[in-house]
Amino acid sequence: MNNIKTILKDHYDIDIINALSQQGGWSALAYKVFNNQHTYFLKAYEKSRASTPKWTALIDKYVPIMIWLLHHSDLKGKIPLPLLTKNGDYKCEDDDRIYLLYEYIDGETIGDKDLTKEQACQLSEIITELHLYGEEIPIETDAIKEDFTVPFLQQLRNFLDEEITHFSSDVREVINPHIEQLNNLIDTTEKLSKSLKYSNLRMSLCHTDIHHWNLMQCEQQLMLIDWEGLKLAPVEADIMFLIDKPYYDEFMRIYQKFHKNFTINTDALQFYQGRRKLEDIWELIEQLLFDDQDVQERVKTINYLTGSLKDIRK
Ligand SMILES: Nc1ncnc2c1ncn2[C@@H]1O[C@H](COP(=O)(O)OP(=O)(O)O)[C@@H](O)[C@H]1O
Ligand SMILES: [Mg+2]
């Protein structure tokens, strides 16, 4: 609590009276912080976690784009509002964590629930609007441009070929039955990654992590949160999350009003589906390898890993 008070005071000039730990997401700890006038949402990325650099390296690149969208697109009120430090920085840090401050959204996370028809429509409108913007916006997008690399592939291969033999037996038992499938997925994804690099596909701003834990209902409006993955990419990077949803046809009807003659590029789609699966699996393996987990956390991670490995076939 005290270090959070200090961070808010020193970097944002905000005096808070309390900080309540919130059920965080995948990448960071989260706090509801407030005083008598105002409520904020503070995301805190722990420097000790292996995945933190992946989530925080691009904060200075994607937050300005969010702010541009808030001012120049129809997404105002539909995406979170990041707040800058008193020096105009997009983030700040102490010895242990990197912090990002947002306006608090007083709403309900969709989470495990299904979307209503109205919510599905609003999500479709948000994605349709987002994809109207690309590299022509007056904010630099180079740093978030898709290059189709899968940086961890070699590490994952090495792991499956060698390091796995030193892993404890509980984890080996979970992974072993899936090694062949996993290697096949690595090979296909790598081939697609090479061919897509030369394909000159049109790229748009994409959220790249659309799921119900990143959606909140706030009064009459559905909001899409968690923009850490903002990319300039082929739109399949987003469409992959919608394609198996019951509201996909309705989404396409809305989408094609503004993106006339749109058709899916199946290579891009397959690449994103493959890369996502491999990313989830590698992230979990990394946690088991490098993070300082207690027994309970470890069991949870192994369960997630079991689920992700079963998903390879889908
Ligand atoms: N600005 C906000 N105001 C209130 N709650 C929020 C806000 N942003 C996120 N949340 C809540 O915190 C959870 C985790 O936030 P998210 O940005 O998705 O973090 P992660 O990157 O860790 O998934 C969300 O599912 C949502 O319930
Ligand atoms: Mg999230």
Among the residue ranges 138-147, 170-179, 226-235, the one predicted with the least confidence is: 170-179
pLDDT of residue 266: 97
Pocket of ligand 1 (CB under 6 A): 22, 24-28, 30, 41, 80, 102, 104-105, 109, 213-214, 216, 225-226, 228
Name which residue sits closest to atom 12 of ligand 1, judged by CA.
24
Percent of the chain exceeding pLDDT 90 equals 88
Name which residue sits closest to atom 16 of ligand 1, judged by CA.
226
Give the tens place of pLDDT for each residue, 62-118.
Answer: 999 999 999 999 999 999 999 999 999 999 999 999 999 999 999 999 999 999 999
Which structural domains are found in the chain, ordered by start? Answer: 1-106 (3.30.200.20), 110-314 (3.90.1200.10)
How many of the other CB atoms lie within 10 Å of CB of 118? 11
Span from the CA of 168 to the centroid of ligand 2 (angstroms)? 30
Q: Please, which residues bridge with residue 92 across strands?
A: 99
For residue 17, pLDDT over 90 is answered with yes
| Cβ(127)–Cβ(210) below 8 Å | yes
Span from the CA of 112 to the centroid of ligand 2 (angstroms)? 13
Q: What is the mean pLDDT of residues 284-300?
A: 90
Ligand 1 atom with the smallest distance to the CA of 27 is 22
